[in-house]
Structure 1
Amino acid sequence: MASAPNSQLPLFYNALEPLSSDAHANYRLRPLDKAPFLAQHHAVPVTVDEFSLVQRHLPIVFTVGDDAVPIALMGLNEGVNTFVDDEGALIQNDLYVPAYIRRYPFMLARLRPDAQELSLCFDPTSGAIGAFEEGEALFNGSEPSETTRNVLAFNESFEQAGARTASFMQELRELDLLMEGEVTIQPNDSDRPFVYRGFQMVNEEKLQNLRGDQLRKIHQSGLLPLVYAHLFSLSLIREVFARQAAQGKMPLPTLAPVN
């Protein structure tokens, strides 16, 4: 159900190229009204800065493993996204779109493993950036344009939010609050339930049994409202299930993990 981003390249990215005024002096950024890269993905990473917004629209769970990250579920099975059509156009216009999606095709990355600084890079296969006649210029001569400066600022904010998210996950691990998740949904028209596993969630019993000093600490650190945003969002899993069923994108009922 919940998949971690690919270890070779980040989710959605097919290649990365550093943005350069020498190599890309005449490049432009044109808006895309569709996100075909999103159509076959059921989950996307989210940052803690977004929890309060995401939890109104999408379930927030955590990937499995020691390096777990929070993700928003846009479908309950691999290859199923209930919020975009097959071409990647949004079906629900008022949906909050996570920043991880909105930053594509840009991202900050180290050009070498030993590099200290992050460089603004882009996916050259995206179709959004190139030597087009239309679109926003990325450079004014050798200087970044206002568009590029805004893109850079957005990506820097995203990296800072990522660091806060990593601290949040570390705190969850130290408190041993994560457990294996399981959701069972029994439709009226099916003899067998749909059972979803392969993700983590906060253990509410452990949360309630935290010592007073631990509760004060997580309240002061801002962790507690984030945990409750995650827990409240879990009720939306059934809504995503209903969307998936209405779109005819359901697998056969199974008692095995759906990954």
Structure 2
Amino acid sequence: MASAPQAQSLPLLYKDLVPLNVEQHAGFTLRNYDRAPFLIGVHAVPLTVDEFPQCQRALPIVFSAGPNPLPLALMGLNEGVNTLVDEEGKLRRDDGYVPAYVRRYPWLLVRLNPDSQELSLCFDPTSELIGEYEDGRPLIENGEATQLTKDLLAFCEQFEEAAMRTGQFMNDLKEADLLMDGELSIQVPDVEKPFVYRGFQMVNEEKLRDLRGDQLRKFNQSGFLPLIYAHLLSLQGMREVFFAQRRLGLGPIPAFEIS
């Protein structure tokens, strides 16, 4: 069901990356947009722990399968299905939470020099959001980054910081052996066999209840304990996503694994 994005040279959603250059991209602008066509057919994206409180009210939060799991926001239970956006990439509902990973696109901080810790602001040049457009907001003016570009850089930096906190959260979950393989079975009246979803991980509530006092105190003091419960509460939303898929005529088929 929810495995990590497949290993590739570029992160999920990105087709190419180039560093923003004040000379080369002096005439480039960023278009205003109200749709995300790049999200069509994407059923899960990485999520940071900073987003758990907001996301859990709108989208299920699970953990990818494999030895190095990461949090994922589920927009669909079947591969290629996204209930958050329509066929043009517009949000289907006003109250739908859009993960920061999606809002960050087409920008990304990249370490261009492996010997340096410095990160450079890059963008996906295949995106139609950035280019020499008259209807966009300038990224460079008078040989310097505009306030818009500075704000985009700050957002990407905040995302990287949240990603580091997420890494620590995942390390603590693994150290406490709190993750287990998840399974969702849904029976509907018009289908003989249940729809079964596997291939994701979730927190084991029994092990959570049996945590030693020092382990529980560690999760509480780090602020991670409420995030665990946000994840567990969000799992009820998996059924909502399932029935949203059926209403939209987007599947599913029985005995499917999210990948």
TM-score (norm 2): 0.97
Residue 170 of structure 1 and its aligned partner are, at CA, apart by: 0.5
Partner of 1:77: 78
Structure-1 separation of matches of 2:257 and 2:50? 30
CA contact (8 A) 1:14 1:125 kept: yes
Is 1:125 equivalent to 2:126 in the alignment? Answer: yes
Structure-1 separation of matches of 2:136 and 2:122? 18
Partner of 2:10: 9
Greater mean alpha carbon deviation, residues 192-201 or residues 114-123? 114-123
Structure-1 separation of matches of 2:2 and 2:156? 25
Structure-1 separation of matches of 2:202 and 2:187? 21
Q: Which amino acid aligns with 2:182?
A: G
Partner of 1:183: 184
Structure 1 residues 28 and 157: alpha-carbon distance in aligned structure 2, compared to 1, 3 A threshold: same
Q: Give the alignment's Cα RMSD to 1 decimal.
A: 1.1
SS in 1 for 2:199: coil
Identity %: 59
Greater mean alpha carbon deviation, residues 192-201 or residues 131-140? 131-140
Structure-1 separation of matches of 2:11 and 2:69? 15
Partner of 2:105: 104
Partner of 1:86: 87
Partner of 2:116: 115
SS in 1 for 2:151: helix
Greater mean alpha carbon deviation, residues 211-220 or residues 199-208? 211-220
Structure-2 separation of matches of 1:252 and 1:158? 35
Structure-2 separation of matches of 1:258 and 1:133? 41
Structure-2 separation of matches of 1:10 and 1:258? 18
SS in 2 for 1:25: coil
CA contact (8 A) 2:2 2:64 kept: yes
Structure-1 separation of matches of 2:258 and 2:73? 16
SS in 1 for 2:45: strand
Partner of 1:21: 22
Structure-1 separation of matches of 2:49 and 2:70? 10
Partner of 1:197: 198
Residue 22 of structure 1 and its aligned partner are, at CA, apart by: 1.2
Is 1:242 equivalent to 2:243 in the alignment? Answer: yes
Deviations 1:68-121 (A, max 9, x none): 110010000000001111121111122111111001110101113333211000
Structure-2 separation of matches of 1:195 and 1:224? 29
Partner of 2:167: 166
Structure-2 separation of matches of 1:110 and 1:14? 17
Partner of 2:58: 57
Structure-1 separation of matches of 2:166 and 2:44? 17
Residue 249 of structure 1 and its aligned partner are, at CA, apart by: 1.1
Partner of 1:67: 68
TM-score (norm 1): 0.97
Structure-1 separation of matches of 2:65 and 2:11? 17
Structure-1 separation of matches of 2:91 and 2:126? 21
CA contact (8 A) 1:195 1:258 kept: no
Greater mean alpha carbon deviation, residues 167-176 or residues 211-220? 211-220
Structure-2 separation of matches of 1:11 and 1:128? 17
Structure-2 separation of matches of 1:157 and 1:243? 32
SS in 2 for 1:183: strand
CA contact (8 A) 2:2 2:257 kept: no
Residue 213 of structure 1 and its aligned partner are, at CA, apart by: 1.5
Greater mean alpha carbon deviation, residues 22-31 or residues 109-118? 109-118
Structure-1 separation of matches of 2:70 and 2:153? 23
Structure-2 separation of matches of 1:192 and 1:146? 56
Partner of 2:33: 32
SS in 2 for 1:166: helix
Number of matched pairs: 258
Structure-2 separation of matches of 1:251 and 1:58? 18
Structure-2 separation of matches of 1:252 and 1:66? 27
Structure-2 separation of matches of 1:188 and 1:88? 31
